[in-house]
Structure 1
Amino acid sequence: MKTILKIIGIIFLLIIAYAIVAMLFFSKDYHFERSVVVNAPREKVWENVASLQALNQWNPFPKADKNIVITYNGSGNQVGDSYHWKGNKEVGEGEQKIIAIVPGEKVTSDLHFIKPYEGKATINMVVVPQGNGTKVTWSMDNELNAVMKIMKPMMDGQMAKMFDQGLADLKKQVE
């Protein structure tokens, strides 16, 4: 019994040590990105990443709630256009607004999470020709608070799963 308690105590101390190291030494700047090469011309791929409505056809985040309510503001493909979503606990509530466009190449959006927690991020969708196809890079940048620094490894895993699924769905949709 003492051996089990010692092991539990050591594990607990390691978790506390990790948390302290993460809070003190992990960068507050968070960058995550994934890419895929789509076997389609850049123009066709662009149509599916430059429009907020088209984005939500392959974006896995809203699909986590079949009853999500999405309200679009604007045509969905111009600077200033946005959408607001409200869903279950998993999806939460927030807004995404296009803040910059380089036609045929890059769309930058501000992402504002309202619920379950307040947060902001910048999303970039970059489209470049590659061979006979088009490379799409989806990235997110934001700042992590102390608690989020501790959760970074779990965030990386969840983000990889969602971004990879979304890019696979984009590829399937466009090809």
Structure 2
Amino acid sequence: MKTLLKILGVIILLAVVYAVIAMLVFSKNYHFEKSVVINAPKEKVWQHVGSLKEYNVWDPFSKADKDIVITYSGAGDKVGDSYHWKGNDKVGEGEQSITESVPNDKLVTKLHFIKPFESDAKASFVLAPEGNGTKVTWSIDYELTAIMKIMKPMMDMNMKKVFDQGLGDLKKLCEK
């Protein structure tokens, strides 16, 4: 029994040490990005990236709730256009609005998360020629709280999974 308590004590101590180190070492500025090369011209890829309505066709976050409610403001492809979503616990509630758009090159949006926690982020899509195709780089930037710093490795794994899924779906859609 003493051995079990010692092992449990060591595990708890290691968890506390990791949490303290993570809060002190990890930057509060979080950046994650993934890229994919799509065998299609920039103009075709832009049709699916440059519009919030088209984005929600392949966006893995929206697909996480089949009953998600999305309300658009504007056509979805100009600076100032936005949408509001409300879904289950997986997708929460929030808003996304276009802050910068350079047709066939770049789309930047502001994300305002309402639930499960309030925060803001910036997402962007950058398109660049790559051989006979188009390289799409999807990134997200936001500020981490102390608790989120502790969860950063798990966040990176989750973001990789979600971005891989989304970019994979975008690639399939554009290469049809």
Question: Given the two structures, how large is their TM-score scaled by the length of structure 2?
Answer: 0.98
Alignment of 1:79-94 (within 5 A): 79-94=79-94
Matched residues in 1 for 2:39 and 2:104: separation?
A: 16
- Gaps of at least 5 residues in structure 2 are none
Q: Cα offset for 1:2?
A: 1.3
Deviation at 1:4, TM superposition (A): 1.5
Alpha-carbon distance in 2 for matches of 1:27, 1:52:
30
The whole-number CA distance in structure 1 between the counterparts of 2:88 and 2:16 is 32
- Give the unaligned 5+ runs of structure 1: none
Q: Distance in 2 between matches of 1:161 and 1:121?
A: 19
Secondary structure in 2 matching 1:139:
strand
**What root-mean-square deviation, in Å, do the aligned CA atoms of Structure 1 and Structure 2 show?**
0.6
Give 2:108's aligned residue. 108
- Match status 1:152 vs 2:152: yes
* Alignment partners' CA distance in 2, 1:148 and 1:106: 29
Aligned partner of 1:71: which letter? Answer: T
Match of 2:47 in 1: 47
Q: Deviations over 1:4-27 (max 9, x none)?
A: 111111011000000011111210
The Cα offsets for residues 42-86 of structure 1, whole Å up to 9 and x where unpaired, read as: 100011100001101110001111100000110100000000000
Aligned to 2:129: 129
Structure-1 separation of matches of 2:26 and 2:170: 33
Equivalent AA in structure 2 for residue 78 of structure 1: K
Post-superposition offset of 1:119: 0.7
Q: Secondary structure at the match of 1:61?
A: helix
Aligned-partner SS, 2:99: strand
1:76 aligned onto 2:76: yes
1:56 is the counterpart of 2:56: yes
Count of matched residue pairs: 175
Q: C-alpha separation between the residues in 2 aligned to 1:66 and 1:104?
A: 30
TM-score scaled by structure 1?
0.99
Q: Which runs of at least 4 in structure 1 moved beyond 4 Å after TM superposition? A: none
1:141 aligns with 2:141: yes
Identity of matched residues, %: 65
For 1:103-158, what per-residue CA distance to the aligned partner results, in whole angstroms no more than 9, with x for missing partners? 21000000000001001000000011100110000000000010000010010010
